[in-house]
């Protein structure tokens, strides 16, 4: 991470902070090498320019998923990227092919469910969002494809989530190569849930940093067979920290098992004579005895339960804890000086008690144990010498025995666990998961930390080599020169520790072998040997400490206890003592040693043994292809949403992540594709973009123009050295700054001009207002003058008009009287004319009706005569038929009775109809009479008025001339008035009569309308009743069929029993056998014709009678062969109906195959269909048989009825089939060979099926079930073929292809058109596939219902694939990509419209998730949207988890806009937390539904009934006499 040289005033940078590790700010001043930075928190920091790093201001707010994509690859950039992703619950991040996993300390079930596993299955590394599944998938694919074992190294400190990560790795591997374990437990459960509690109890302890630290390395081998399925597993343990058994320090604890045993139930404590942990020397060296939040008593019981599951018996468990208790008692044995020089004895009675308890628990002799602790046997050539040890060496012997026993016990437990899991010795491929302790650096570091850090140095070297190898592969792939790049190696540290001779471990072993050595002499030896080593540092104020500069930093070690903790002995006396134990378990821990090693004690170095085990581990890892996962603990309080920068930086250093970054920085830390480089730095050379150069040449021209040296240009990327990205950004910032100043200048000019124009506009408006006021005054004066003139004019007009209206009213009165008289005369004439016309019309109607009735009567007489003649002719034919076969005599009688009954019923209906018509005519006549009477009254009233007027007129004429006699005038006037009043009264009476007549007409019309309405309602009610009766009948028949099918199947199952052999010996039921129970009446010659078939049931009949039956069976077999041969060809369609299905149905119905107990024709048909669809990708054949299967199933569904269902059939259906016509059809079906009734075959097949159902036997019901299964299979094959065809296209459709560089320059309309065409090419390919499948299915007449189901499921599949890919790939959640997908969805919508609803159905609605997600991506002003608007209006279908995922992953690559506001994000997070607490599934992925979305009943309801009677048979069977029933018959 070299210091940048392009830091200028105004640059955004990172500076170190003692609390936050790194803090961002802006450079305010630069003085030489000092940089003044104003941080975002308001304070000013002064730092050296070498400690300041540039900040990428254009980094996505949600971070990048691979930190090699960072513009600036340095510590603060890495930390900021991890923090940004962690805030969004994106806990996984790549660094190249290294996965960094940050513990979220909360449940995130959506990240680990089965949907997520399916998404990562087979996906390329880096194609989807970072995930632990991606690492496991890469390892698995590499193992399968290359045949090489792989390993996954999971590292991190305790609490970082190593165990959980390992569990997820193994879950995914079990998902890929699934194999169930013992007792229903998977391998993952065996290894983690069963073995972990046991191994943690005996291998974990509290350390300075965490409470449950693994003090051993665990390498879990998942073993696979040749086919890639899990065949076994094994747990390999390395580097157990043996010295912890005897030596611990505050605040650490010994191994958990010691404390668990001390917290065991009281009876077990008494049995082992245990007390408080404070009373045992191996436990009381530290002040820590208990862990917060941990109950050792409960943990002890849990460990015992885990041992039970592993398979450790009660006796073995007791022996294990006896050994653990013996180690505790052994540590309390103290020694004192003996009487002899350099001798020792048991110190006191308390020590003697513990000695005896140890011997009792180990079941060995107490004296032998004492001798083994304080005596040694030396074998010389001359003699065997026994010597005693001094107290110090006796304590060493005691501790060596304790460590040996404990390490052997731990190894035994591991072997037991491996035996329980089950290993595969023949496995050639493994995937290993290494879970080992991480780098440790405390205030006080001893021998344990030295060994652990040595292990991590070794693993870091392996890691560095892998990272450098990946860098080399990247450079080689891009074909750039990398020979001068130096490899960052830590071999010098490893030489310092392990080199022989002269390494620290060698010097430590040498010091341990000299009795006089002390920790001071050892430290001095180190100082002298490594005084010139740059990795070794001697502290100034200490005589025994030393410091090693590790890859993760300097660690200061205290050498005080190095010698004691390194000493270990393989003591022959200990071996002999425990081998002689009476406890078989203890003996099994110590198998006999070879002869040469069993006679003397031998010094053994823990450090050397540690080194050998580490070499073994490295050899195992070197033989595999490594993959790395670095687990990080974000905080020490173990709570979610807390990101402690300093803590994480330290873990990244210890995990080697920053070391890997240093390796990248040594080469080319910044890599950009040509498109990204031009998109970011094209502004530095606009003329290059406008030129006609390819991307690579354009990139080189930009770099050369800016004078950069040392960069490399590969095949697809630009590789920049450290600091060059900052230099280019500085140049880019300068260009953008100049552009910004130009924009500001233009804006200021615009603002000034706008202000000037507004002032000028205001002045003009003031002038206009004043001129307006002057004009208003002038206008008011003119308006007053005009008003005066208008008033005068209107007054004159009013006077004139009033005079005119008076004259006009007088004239109108005179005209009205004259016109009224004329109108009354006209009305009288027209009324008389109309009455005459009505009388004429009625008379002509009567004449026509009489003539029609006479013609009708003549026609009926003629028809009856002709029908009688035809009937007599038919009767003669029937009599002739009855003389030939007497089988229908009874039927004829009943037919005649039925004809008489129908004739009587017809006459009755005629009488009723005549009565009804007479009643209606009488009612109409009454109404007409009433109307006529009213008309007569009106006419009389009119006549009376006329007479009165005539009388008045005559009276006036006859009156004498008027003489001056006033009384006469008065009398005449009164008479005229009385006459006028009479006329008015008559007029009123006439009007009243007219109204009553109209009301009567209206009442009659209303009554007639009401009568018609009631008649219509009655008809509707009858139809509804019929429909309900039919529905009830169908339900009852369906129920009876199901019950009967179940009964038949149960009977068939009972028949398949040991008694089947006896049944098989019986003769088979003949195919043509008929019985009265089957609905046939066997009498007369019909019974005689079937005697031969009935004779088969009697074994004593002569052999000659079996020949006719054999010939019939042979004929039947030939017909079946011909049918199978025919349907195996493509017969095509007739009027949209599949010929093959109709042919099969008619043949099976004719042969009565549905009603026989045994037949092979069904199996042969099924085999033919199966053979026809063997080629899975022949969609034409699949569609052809899909149509045939659906049609045949529809016909069977409407015909077949399970035997035994007749009792549940409604009475109406039974009465129908019991009629003469129904019995005739049954009789005709019973004997198809009868020549007398062959003419009815066509009618029976075509029209009688809906009147009669066949009682099917077991083979027919089984055939129906098999046909249903084949229909579903063919449907699924067509659907899956289409899915397979469009799946590769969907992968190309989810992400818009990047536009070429030409589209970055304005004015390239042609290039844009070409790019736009390329964008929708993949969508058009999908539409082409849809059209192709639709065309095939329509050509094969597949029922539209099934076509709709296919496309509905396909669109659902498209919705799932696009939506899941959108949520798993951040680069897809962009604005431009949303526009691209929206364009493609418009293509699909257009296809749905063209395909019509008949075939597309509701397919478009299945895309609701991706449509709403894309709609959310392309809307503007997202920060202004509230959560309610988003969830209710924009995306009502999407869940909170899905919206949160899209909102946090969204980035605008087109306009640079932001996603939704932080308040909305916070609200979403709260809702997600509530859902998590309520145990609601929080998966944001969709699941593809591959089920069959329909039933047989759905097909029956949606398909139209098929008419099979007029199907023309194919030429192959048309001429065959056995298939004559297939030929269409004349009516």
Burial of 291-327, coded b for 16+ CB within 10 Å and e otherwise, reads eeeeebeebbeebbebbebbebeeebbebbbbbbbbb
Tokens standing for 152? 């996954």
Query: What does R_g of the chain's alpha carbons equal in angstroms?
Result: 53
Within 8 A by CB and 6+ apart from 58, the residues are 71, 680
Query: 3-class secondary structure for 188-213?
Result: HHHHHHHHHHHHHHHHEECCCCCCCE
Phi, psi (degrees; rounded to nearest 5) at 396? -60, -40
- Mind giving me the DSSP string for 542-585? -SSEEEEEETTEEEEEEGGGHHHHHEEEE-HHHHHHHHT-S-HH
Tokens standing for 985? 């009264």
Token pair 């031009």 is found at 678
What's the CA gap between 1398 and 1349, in Å, rounded? 11
120, 55 Cβ separation under 8 angstroms:
no
What's the CA gap between 1464 and 1469, in Å, rounded? 9
658, 78 Cβ separation under 8 angstroms:
yes
Looking from the CA of 1302 toward its CB, the CA atoms found within 13 Å total 13
Q: Among 609, 626, 520, 502, which Cα is nearest to 135's?
A: 626
**Ramachandran bin of 844, using left for φ above 0, alpha for ψ from -120 to 50, beta for the remaining angles:** alpha
Tokens standing for 1345? 């219902």
337, 361 Cβ separation under 8 angstroms:
no
Q: From residue 142, how far is each of 135, 175, 228 by CA, in Å? A: 11, 16, 11
Instruction: Point out the residues that are catalytic.
Output: 158-159, 163, 210, 213-214, 438, 440
Within 8 A by CB and 6+ apart from 1106, the residues are 1092, 1095, 1096
**Sign, Cα dihedral of 755, 757, 763, 768:** negative
Token pair 């378990």 is found at 585
Q: Among 164, 137, 3, which Cα is nearest to 74's?
A: 3
Residue 1249 is given by DSSP the state: T
Strands 717-720 and 1133-1134: unpaired
Tokens standing for 1498? 């759905």
What's the CA gap between 440 and 450, in Å, rounded? 9
Strands 375-379 and 384-388: antiparallel
Q: From residue 411, how far is each of 232, 417, 606, 893, 1128 by CA, in Å? A: 20, 10, 16, 101, 68
Token pair 């001043």 is found at 29
Within 8 A by CB and 6+ apart from 1137, the residues are 1191, 1341, 1506, 1507, 1508, 1511
Give ∠ CA 572-575-576 in degrees, rounded to 5.
85
Burial of 691-712, coded b for 16+ CB within 10 Å and e otherwise, reads eeeebeebbeebbeeeebeebb
Strands 150-155 and 429-435: parallel
């Amino acid at each position: 991470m070299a210091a940048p040289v392009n830091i200028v005033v105004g640059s955004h940078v990172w500076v170190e902070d003692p609390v936050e590790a790194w803090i961002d700010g802006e450079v305010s001043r630069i003085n030489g090498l000092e940089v003044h930075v104003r941080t975002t928190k308001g304070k000013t920091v002064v730092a050296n320019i070498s400690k300041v790093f540039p900040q990428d201001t254009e980094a996505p707010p949600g971070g990048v998923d691979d930190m090699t994509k960072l513009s600036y690859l340095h510590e603060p950039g890495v930390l900021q990227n991890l923090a940004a992703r962690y805030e969004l619950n994106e806990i996984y991040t790549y660094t190249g092919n290294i996965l960094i996993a940050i513990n979220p300390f909360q449940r995130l079930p959506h990240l680990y469910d089965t949907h997520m596993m399916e998404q990562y299955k087979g996906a390329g590394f880096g194609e989807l969002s970072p995930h632990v599944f991606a690492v496991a998938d890469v390892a698995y694919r590499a193992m399968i494809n290359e045949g090489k074992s792989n390993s996954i190294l999971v590292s991190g400190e305790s609490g970082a989530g190593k165990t959980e990560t390992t569990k997820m790795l193994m879950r995914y591997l079990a998902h890929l190569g699934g194999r169930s374990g013992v007792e229903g437990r998977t391998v993952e459960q065996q290894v983690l849930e069963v073995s972990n509690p046991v191994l943690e109890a005996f291998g974990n302890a509290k350390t300075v940093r965490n409470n449950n630290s693994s003090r051993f390395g665990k390498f879990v081998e998942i073993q696979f067979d040749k086919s890639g399925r899990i065949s076994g597993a094994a747990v390999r343990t390395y580097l157990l920290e043996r010295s912890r058994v005897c030596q611990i320090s505050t605040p650490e604890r010994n191994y958990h098992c010691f404390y668990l045993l001390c917290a065991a139930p009281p009876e077990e404590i008494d049995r082992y004579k245990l007390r408080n942990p404070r009373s045992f020397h191996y436990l009381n060296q530290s002040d820590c005895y208990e862990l917060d939040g941990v109950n050792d008593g409960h943990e002890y019981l849990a460990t015992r339960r885990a041992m039970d599951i592993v398979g450790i018996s009660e006796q073995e468990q007791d022996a294990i804890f006896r050994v653990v208790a013996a180690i505790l008692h052994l540590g309390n044995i103290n020694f004192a000086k003996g009487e002899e020089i350099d001798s020792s004895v048991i110190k006191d009675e308390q020590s003697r008690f513990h000695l005896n308890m140890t011997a009792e628990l180990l079941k060995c002799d107490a004296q032998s144990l004492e001798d083994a602790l304080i005596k040694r046997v030396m074998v010389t050539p001359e003699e065997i010498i026994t010597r005693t040890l001094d107290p110090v060496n006796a304590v060493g012997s005691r501790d060596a025995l304790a460590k040996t026993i404990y390490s052997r016990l731990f190894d035994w437990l591991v072997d037991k666990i491996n035996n329980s899991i089950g290993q595969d010795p023949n496995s050639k491929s493994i995937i290993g998961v290494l879970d080992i302790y991480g780098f440790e650096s405390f205030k006080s570091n001893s021998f344990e930390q030295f060994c652990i850090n040595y292990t991590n140095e070794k693993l870091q070297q392996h890691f560095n080599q892998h990272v450098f190898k990946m860098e080399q592969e990247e450079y080689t792939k891009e074909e750039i020169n990398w020979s001068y790049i130096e490899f960052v190696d830590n071999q010098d540290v490893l030489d310092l520790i392990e080199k022989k001779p002269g390494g620290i471990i060698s010097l430590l072993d040498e010091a341990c072998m000299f009795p006089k050595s002390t920790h001071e002499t050892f430290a001095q030896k180190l100082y002298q040997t490594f005084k010139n080593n740059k990795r070794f540092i001697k502290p100034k104020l200490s005589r025994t400490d030393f410091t090693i500069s590790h890859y993760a930093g300097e660690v200061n070690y205290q050498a005080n206890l190095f010698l004691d903790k390194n000493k270990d002995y393989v003591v022959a006396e200990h071996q002999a003592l425990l081998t002689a134990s009476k406890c078989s378990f203890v003996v099994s821990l110590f198998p006999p040693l070879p002869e040469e090693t069993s006679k003397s004690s031998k010094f053994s170095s823990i450090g050397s043994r540690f080194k050998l085990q580490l070499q073994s581990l490295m050899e195992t890892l070197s033989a595999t292809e490594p993959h790395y996962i670095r687990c990080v603990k974000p905080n020490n309080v173990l709570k979610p949403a807390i990101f402690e920068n300093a803590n994480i930086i330290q873990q990244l250093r210890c995990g080697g992540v920053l070391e890997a970054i240093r390796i990248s920085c040594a080469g080319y830390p910044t890599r950009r594709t040509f498109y990204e480089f031009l998109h970011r730095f094209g502004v530095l050379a606009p003329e290059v973009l406008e030129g006609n150069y390819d991307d690579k040449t354009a990139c080189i021209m930009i770099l050369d123009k800016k004078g950069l040296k040392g960069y490399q240009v590969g095949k697809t990327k630009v590789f920049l050295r450290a600091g060059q990205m900052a230099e280019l950004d500085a140049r880019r910032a300068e260009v953008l700054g100049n552009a910004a100043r130009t924009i500001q200048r233009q804006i200021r000019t615009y603002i000034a001009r706008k202000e000037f124009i507004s002032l000028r506009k205001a002045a003009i408006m003031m002038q206009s207002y004043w001129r307006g006021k002057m004009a208003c005054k002038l206008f008011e004066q003119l308006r007053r003058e005009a008003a005066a003139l208008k008033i005068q004019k209107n007054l004159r007009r009013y006077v004139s008009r009033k005079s005119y209206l008076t004259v006009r009213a007088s004239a109108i009165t005179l005209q009205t009287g004259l016109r009224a008289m004329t109108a009354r005369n006209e009305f009288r004439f027209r009324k008389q004319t109309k009455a005459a016309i009505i009388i004429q019309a009625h008379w002509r109607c009567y004449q026509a009706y009489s003539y029609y009735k006479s013609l009708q009567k003549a026609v009926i007489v003629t028809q009856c005569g002709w029908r009688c003649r035809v009937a007599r002719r038919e009767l003669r034919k029937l009599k002739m038929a009855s003389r030939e076969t007497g089988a229908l005599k009874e039927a004829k009688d009943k037919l005649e009775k039925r004809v008489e009954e129908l004739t009587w019923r017809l006459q009755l209906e005629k009488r009723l109809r005549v009565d009804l018509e007479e009643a209606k005519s009488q009612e109409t006549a009454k109404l007409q009479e009433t109307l006529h009477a009213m008309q007569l009254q009106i006419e009389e009233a009119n006549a009376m008025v006329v007479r009165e007027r005539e009388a008045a007129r005559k009276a006036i004429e006859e009156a004498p001339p008027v003489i001056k006699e006033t009384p006469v005038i008065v009398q005449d006037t009164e008479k005229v008035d009385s006459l006028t009043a009479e006329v008015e009264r008559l007029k009123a009476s006439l009007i009243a009569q007219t109204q009553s007549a109209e009301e009567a007409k209206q009442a009659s019309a209303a009554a007639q309308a009401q009568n018609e309405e009631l008649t219509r309602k009655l008809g509707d009610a009858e139809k509804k009743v019929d429909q309900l009766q039919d529905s009830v009948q169908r339900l009852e028949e369906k129920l009876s069929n199901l019950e009967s099918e179940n009964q038949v199947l149960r009977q068939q199952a009972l028949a398949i029993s040991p008694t089947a052999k006896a049944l098989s010996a019986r003769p088979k039921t003949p195919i043509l056998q008929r019985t009265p129970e089957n609905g046939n009446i066997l009498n007369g010659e019909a019974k005689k014709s079937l005697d031969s078939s009935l004779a088969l049931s009697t074994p004593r009949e002569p052999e000659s009678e079996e020949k006719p039956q054999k010939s019939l069976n042979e004929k039947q077999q030939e017909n079946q062969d011909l049918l199978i041969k025919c349907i195996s060809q493509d017969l095509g369609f007739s009027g949209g109906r599949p010929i093959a299905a109709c042919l099969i149905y008619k043949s099976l119905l004719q042969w009565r195959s549905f009603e026989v107990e045994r037949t092979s024709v069904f199996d042969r048909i099924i085999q033919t269909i199966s053979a026809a669809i063997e080629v899975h990708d022949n969609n034409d054949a699949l569609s052809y048989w899909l149509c045939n299967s659906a049609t045949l199933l529809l016909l069977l569904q409407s015909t077949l009825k399970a035997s035994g269902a007749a009792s549940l059939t409604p009475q109406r259906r039974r009465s129908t089939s019991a009629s003469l016509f129904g019995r005739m059809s049954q009789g005709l079906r019973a004997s198809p060979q009868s020549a007398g009734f062959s003419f009815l075959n066509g009618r029976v097949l075509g029209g009688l099926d809906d009147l009669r159902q066949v009682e099917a036997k077991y083979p027919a019901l089984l055939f129906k079930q098999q046909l249903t299964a084949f229909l579903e299979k063919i449907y699924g094959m067509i659907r899956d073929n289409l899915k397979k065809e469009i799946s590769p296209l969907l992968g190309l459709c989810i992400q818009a292809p990047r536009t070429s560089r030409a589209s970055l320059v304005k004015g390239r309309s042609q290039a844009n058109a070409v790019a736009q065409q390329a964008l929708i090419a993949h969508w058009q390919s999908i539409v082409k596939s849809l059209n192709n499948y639709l065309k095939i299915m329509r050509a094969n007449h597949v029922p539209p219902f099934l076509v709709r189901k296919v496309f509905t499921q396909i669109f659902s599949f498209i919705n799932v694939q696009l939506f899941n890919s959108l949520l798993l790939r951040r680069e897809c959640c962009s604005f431009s990509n949303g526009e691209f997908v929206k364009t493609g969805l418009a293509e699909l919508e257009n296809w749905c419209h063209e395909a019509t609803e008949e075939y597309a159905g509701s397919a478009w609605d299945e895309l609701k998730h991706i449509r709403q997600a894309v709609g959310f991506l392309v809307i503007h002003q997202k920060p202004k949207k509230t959560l309610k608007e988003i969830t209710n209006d924009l995306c009502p279908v999407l869940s909170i988890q899905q919206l949160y995922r899209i909102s946090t992953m969204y980035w605008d690559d087109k306009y640079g806009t932001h996603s939704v506001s932080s308040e909305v994000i916070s609200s979403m997070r709260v809702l997600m937390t509530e859902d998590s607490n309520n145990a609601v599934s929080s998966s944001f992925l969709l699941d593809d539904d591959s089920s069959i979305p329909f039933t047989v009943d759905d097909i029956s309801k949606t398909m139209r009934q098929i008419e099979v009677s007029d199907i023309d048979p194919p030429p192959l069977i048309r001429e065959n006499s056995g298939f004559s029933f297939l030929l269409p018959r004349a009516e």
